[in-house]
Amino acid sequence: MSVLEACIFATVLCGFFGIILKKNLMMKIISMDVMSTGVIAFYVLIAAQGGFFTPIASQPEPVAYADPVPQAVILTAIVIGFSIQALMLVGVMKLSRNNPTLECSEIEESNSP
């Protein structure tokens, strides 16, 4: 395992434990974004292989081309992650209008029957 892989794995773990351990909703959203960034970085690290060329049709000799599908998947994951984060922030904004705090335990106590 390289140092870069270890740093990316630590980023994913920090985001995961932040989602589980933090009680503030904003911190949970930030932790989810950190974990998503780590997962995307790990995917990019695995997909980046040396010796592959950009798929341009003007090269006459056959060489190993990089697959463009993982790039499209990662771009889609980034856009979906951004939209989910925006939706969660709107939900927290609506929730904060009714509650003076963003702590999960206090919100659960105030909304329980």
> pTM for this one?
0.78
pLDDT tens digits for 35-86?
999 999 988 888 776 667 777 766 677 777 777 787 888 899 999 999 999 9
The Cα 26–Cα 9 span in angstroms is 23
- How crowded is residue 12: how many other Cβ atoms within 10 Å of its Cβ? 17
24 bridge partner residues: 103
Name the CATH topology of 3-51+64-111: Helix Hairpins (1.10.287)
Please report which confidence band the pLDDT of residue 98 belongs to, taking 50, 70 and 90 as the band edges.
Answer: confident
Under 8 Å CB-to-CB from 92, ≥6 apart: which residues? 25, 26, 29, 102
Q: Where are the domains of the chain?
A: 3-51+64-111
Is residue 15 within 8 Å of 35, Cβ to Cβ?
Answer: yes
pLDDT tens digits for 2-13?
898 999 999 999
